Amino acid sequence: MTAPLTHSAPITVEVALAERAYDIIIGRDVLGSLGRRVAELRPGARVAIVTDYTVARHWLAAVEWVLGEAGIPTSRIVVGEGEASKTYAGFESVCEALIAARIERNDLVVALGGGVIGDLAGFAASVVRRGVDFVQVPTSLLAQVDSSVGGKTGINSPQGKNLIGAFHQPVLVVADTAVLDTLSPRQFRAGYAEVAKYGLLGDAGFFAWLEQNAAEIFSGGSAREHAIATSCRAKAAVVARDERETGERALLNLGHTFGHALEAATGFSDRLFHGEGVAVGMVLAAELSVELGLLPSDAARRIARHLHDVGLPTAMQDIAGFMQEGLADADRLMALMAQDKKVKRGRLTFIVLEAIGRAAIRSDIDPAMVHGFLARKLDGG
């Protein structure tokens, strides 16, 4: 594992998608370069900034200022926080606001926020006037390492997470690690689950490095940029090989089949952040892999221990109110998993682990076996 880079060296990671290639700019205080970069990408363009109320309080004025300094006219669209905005109604509201702002095809949408804003603004940009380019300015750790990269955009259905959407690649990602200083500890931990995911699915050395350096990542040291850049490189490489998730890209969903079902069961609420659902889901995926004879039990325990050590939930019983509200039902969770985007011809697809650092895609696991596994886990087994 290479040594972490210093704060003074912004990192550029290219997402190599031929004519749709774009750069991810990572570093402390790189937000100040946004105006120059946008002006170079789209001379004369106007920008609509989509954000939420919380992010707006911290960063909207600063983004408007740096764009204004570059001579770029802006308008603002501010929505509510959280998954409640990733709905048909929220989507309609953003689309109508973009049209009212007279955003044209040669203009830009800037998604300023976490994963919800990136998904929502990107999806709206993909359809307004049959497609407007957009820039991701992710303000959460989860968005910087995962959701801002790769072009997946969308909203939730009452029947499941991210079931309505489109592939629409950004033209630029600017990931300023300084903005993460305003996150709550819980929000930062939730994003860290996606960082750990990259080690688990394809880089055992990175996972071992995370075990040794998590404290500095959380405290804001130079290890933070290194972790983000390593995660982005991993995702960019997979996306370049499989942009539309017809094969290998499904590996990036490690923990998500279980995690999305748990998010749906808790009403896409702040009772369970996305990254927290992924953390529980990765532990469940590891334990399922043990039952399938694919993964040594000590590896599953090691995964759960690291996630627990950084403060993430690792069992369904850790989810606030989950047991008390009657949601701890294997039948219900199986029904929710049946709506997962990776289902093919009615068969569930699971991402399993063969070792720390090696994941595999399986669509041949007996649903009855999974049901029994979930029932045992819900009983504390």
Percentage of residues in the chain with pLDDT exceeding 90?
85
Q: Residue 222 and residue 344: Cα distance in Å, rounded?
A: 42
Q: Which helix (H) or strand (E) holds 136?
A: strand 133-138
Decide if 112 contacts 137 (C-beta within 8 A). Answer: yes
pLDDT in tens, 191-218: 999 999 999 999 999 999 999 999 999 9
Alpha-carbon distance 110 to 138, whole Å? 10
SS (H, E, C) 77-126: EEECCCHHHCCHHHHHHHHHHHHHCCCCCCCEEEEEECHHHHHHHHHHHH
Residue 96, token pair as written in the block: 């109508």
What is the pLDDT at residue 121? 98
The reported pLDDT for the residue numbered 213 is 97
Domains and CATH numbers, the chain: 11-181 (3.40.50.1970), 185-378 (1.20.1090.10)
In tens, the pLDDT along 77-136 reads 999 999 999 999 999 999 999 999 999 999 999 999 999 999 999 999 999 999 999 999
Global confidence as pTM = 0.92
Across residues 256-264, what is the average pLDDT? 93
Region 163-171 average pLDDT: 96
List CB contacts of 270: < 8 A, sequence separation 6 or more: 82
User: To the nearest whole number, what is the mean pLDDT of the chain?
Assistant: 93
First to last CA, the chain: 36
For the segment 62-88, the average pLDDT, to the nearest whole number, is: 96
If we measure between CA atoms, which residue out of 272, 24, 63, 37 comes closest to residue 149?
24
Q: Which token pair is 130?
A: 């049959």
User: When comparing pLDDT for 344 and 2, which is higher?
Assistant: 344
CB 94 within 8 A of CB 124: yes
What amino acid is encoded at 135 in this protein? V
User: Would you put residue 357 in left (φ > 0), alpha (ψ -120 to 50) or beta?
Assistant: left
pLDDT for the residue numbered 1: 43
- Provide the 8-state DSSP code for 7: T
Q: What pLDDT, on a 0 to 100 scale, did the predictor assign at position 320?
A: 86
What's the full length of the chain, in residues?
381
Distance of alpha carbon 251 from alpha carbon 248, whole angstroms: 6
- Digit-coded pLDDT (tens) for 4-18: 444 557 999 999 999
Return the pLDDT at 6.
47
- Is pLDDT at 3 greater than 50 in this prediction? no
Nearest alpha-carbon partner for 25 in 149, 196, 194, 188: 149
In this predicted structure, what is the pLDDT of residue 345? 64
Do residues 195 and 231 touch, judged by C-beta distance below 8 A? yes
Q: pLDDT band for position 342 (50/70/90)?
A: low
Give the residue among 297, 2, 58, 356 at the shortest CA–CA distance from 187.
58
Which residues are known to be catalytic?
Answer: 130, 152, 194, 235, 245, 249, 253, 256, 260, 274
348, pLDDT greater than 70: yes
Q: What does the DSSP 8-state code read for residue 1?
A: -
